[in-house]
């Protein structure tokens, strides 16, 4: 199954909600535009971006005399595509690199780390995993399973250890083994807790300092936020708080399958100007897809 087909499968519920607007038989009147704007808001694109997109589409429809569902869907897909920010490179394959994964509990960080490690190994990279979520025993066990399955080493300590020390250890080990991609899972943090966010900032700071002293030179450190698509508009609040505290480099959006809130990807991109790097649309390794703005917009509105 190709990327577009996978996205169509994962975004089915979001697409159904949006496409109900286009099943009309009358004029493209004020009621149509109000319904479209309301539907985009309900898909969790947010009021501001929904209003802007609807107004832009209304103007384009008037200028170009767009009246059919097909014409309007195609124009909507193109407009939505323009919202996204393109990453300068694939931050998981542009090595050497150290990547810290952050986010709240249950967002899918640990699974994301495992899938990216397995995919990087298949792509010919030399990854190593750091289990810095030392508060949740299941996280360490999950990473062990992923590491064993993919043949990727996992650096860990006993439960309750200082997570910053795990980050230091995994970079030491990466140095010894000449690994070019360090993937670090961190404990879930509530973005509303100042104390927890300060602790996470310390983890990032320690990691950066150690990464500057690799035997092959300084290794770039990237901070990636993992967001559960089903959280909807709360995902924007998460992204804002994490970005202000840590300086986020990109987003991984998980669990797009089974939610009617696929618009959260646009909301985050529009609010923070951050690239979406991967989208999760299932449980398999291949279901964590490289994000493509064109394919996403087309799949979201039902255009081929």
pLDDT in tens, 245-299: 999 999 999 988 766 667 788 888 888 899 999 998 888 888 898 999 998 898 8
On whether 109 is known to bind a ligand per the annotation, the reply is yes
187 is in an annotated binding site: yes
Residue 67 annotated as binding site: no
In this predicted structure, the answer to whether residue 24 has a pLDDT above a threshold of 60 is no
Beta carbons within 10 angstroms of residue 5's beta carbon:
11
Q: Yes or no: say if 1 and 18 are a contact pair by the CB < 8 Å rule.
A: no
pTM (2 decimals)?
Answer: 0.90
- Least confident piece of the model among 20-29, 193-202, 248-257: 20-29
Distance of alpha carbon 241 from alpha carbon 103, whole angstroms: 10
pLDDT for res 260: 60
Give rounded-to-5 percent helix, strand, coil for the chain. 55, 15, 35
Q: 131 pairs with which residues across the strands?
A: 185
Residue 54 labelled as part of a binding site: no
User: What is the three-class DSSP state of 224?
Assistant: strand
Residue 185 marked in a binding site: yes
Q: Is 224 annotated as a binding residue?
A: no
As a whole number, mean pLDDT of residues 184-201 equals 81
For residue 179, say whether it is annotated as part of any ligand binding site: no
Question: Whole-angstrom Cα distance, residue 146 to residue 118?
Answer: 7
94 assigned ligand-binding residue: no
Rg (CA), the chain: 21
Buried b / exposed e across 181-215, counting CB within 10 Å, b at 16+? Answer: bbbbbbbbbebeeeebbebbeebbebbbebbeebe
Please report, for the chain, how many H helices and E strands are present, in that order.
12, 8
pLDDT tens readout for residues 147-165:
998 899 999 988 888 999 9
Q: What is the pLDDT of residues 87-113, one digit of tens each?
A: 989 999 999 999 999 998 888 999 999
Question: Is 234 marked within a binding site?
Answer: no
CA angle 103–104–107, rounded 5-degree value: 80
Which CATH number is associated with domain 97-248? 3.40.50.300
Query: Does 103 belong to an annotated binding site?
Result: yes
> Is 25 annotated among the ligand-binding residues?
no
């Amino acid at each position: 199954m190709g990327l577009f087909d996978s996205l169509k499968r994962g975004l089915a519920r979001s697409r159904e909600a949006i496409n109900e607007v286009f099943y009309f038989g009358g004029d493209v009147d004020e009621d149509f535009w109000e319904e479209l704007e309301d539907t985009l808001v309900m898909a969790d694109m947010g009021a501001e971006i929904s209003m802007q997109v609807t107004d832009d589409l209304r103007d384009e429809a008037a200028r170009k005399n767009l009246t059919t569902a097909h014409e309007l869907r195609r124009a909507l897909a193109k407009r939505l595509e323009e919202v996204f920010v393109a990453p300068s490179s694939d931050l998981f394959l542009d090595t050497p690199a150290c990547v810290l994964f952050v986010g709240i509990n249950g967002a899918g960080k640990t699974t994301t780390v495992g899938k990216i490690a397995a995919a990087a190994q298949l792509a010919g990279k030399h990854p190593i995993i750091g289990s810095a979520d030392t508060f949740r025993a299941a996280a360490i066990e999950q990473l062990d399973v992923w590491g064993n399955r993919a043949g990727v080493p996992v650096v860990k300590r006993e439960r309750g250890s200082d997570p910053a020390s795990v980050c230091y250890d995994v970079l030491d080990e990466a140095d010894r083994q000449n690994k070019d991609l360090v993937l670090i899972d961190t404990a879930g943090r509530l973005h509303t807790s100042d104390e927890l966010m300060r602790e996470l900032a310390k983890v990032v700071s320690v990691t950066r300092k150690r990464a500057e002293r690799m035997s092959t030179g300084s290794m770039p450190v990237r901070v990636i936020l993992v967001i559960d698509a089903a959280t909807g508009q709360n995902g924007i609040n998460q992204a804002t708080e994490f970005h202000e505290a840590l300086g986020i480099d990109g987003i991984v959006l998980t669990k797009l399958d089974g939610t009617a809130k696929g618009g959260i990807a646009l909301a985050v991109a529009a609010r923070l100007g951050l690239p979406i790097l991967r989208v999760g649309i299932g449980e398999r390794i291949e279901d964590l897809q490289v994000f493509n703005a064109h394919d996403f917009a087309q799949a979201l509105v039902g255009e081929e």
